[in-house]
Amino acid sequence: MTDETEHWNAVLAEILLSEKVGVAHVRLVGDLISVQAQLSMGMQGPVGLSLADRADIAEELLVLEDTYKEVWQTVVAAPDIDRRIPELKRLEVALEEAVEGVAAVARRYGITSEPRRLDDDR
């Protein structure tokens, strides 16, 4: 990007491209992108969200995003594998909580938003 603003999914892209993460992290990033996209599309539909509702949703999502971003920074900063392993576990938990959190926010506003895994028959 030419300006100094970071794309809202830049950290997820970093995680996906990192050699430091495992399959579980990649799967969770995919799940998170999926539920975020479903929520975003659902907000465009006829759910009748007020500006206050939209602001509340954005605020809740920012908290979830801040959490996994902070944990990701600890993974990046870990000087060796022994210190990285516990941080990777924390990242997995933070991503799981983000996926569940986005889905819960969507449900609360009547929007369907569930992880779509490659092995799902949906």
> Could you give the C-alpha distances from 15 to 8, 45, 48, 119, in angstroms and in order?
13, 31, 34, 22
Place of tokens 């895994």: 117
Is residue 95 one of the residues assigned to a domain? yes
Is residue 33 one of the residues assigned to a domain? no
Is residue 16 one of the residues assigned to a domain? no
Contact (Cβ atoms closer than 8 angstroms) between residue 103 and residue 114: yes
The pLDDT of residue 21 is above 80: yes
Is residue 80 one of the residues assigned to a domain? yes
pLDDT at site 43 = 86
Specify the pTM: 0.86
pLDDT at site 122 = 46
CA atoms of 69 and 116, how far apart (whole Å): 22
Look over the chain and give the mean of its residue pLDDT values, rounded to a whole number. Answer: 88
Q: Which residues contact 1 (CB under 8 A, 6 or more apart)?
A: 7
The pLDDT of residue 44 is above 90: no
pLDDT at site 2 = 46
Q: Which of 6-10, 95-99, 115-119 has the lowest mean pLDDT?
A: 115-119
Q: At what angle do helices 51-77 and 10-17 cross, to 10 degrees?
A: 30
Is residue 11 one of the residues assigned to a domain? no
The pLDDT of residue 82 is above 90: yes
Is residue 71 one of the residues assigned to a domain? yes
Provide mean pLDDT across the span 37-59: 86
Domains held by the chain: number: 1
Q: Which residues contact 101 (CB under 8 A, 6 or more apart)?
A: 60, 61, 64
Is residue 5 one of the residues assigned to a domain? no
Is residue 22 one of the residues assigned to a domain? no
Portion of the chain with pLDDT greater than 70, in percent: 85
CA atoms of 33 and 85, how far apart (whole Å): 24
**Range of the structural domain that residue 81 is part of:** 51-113
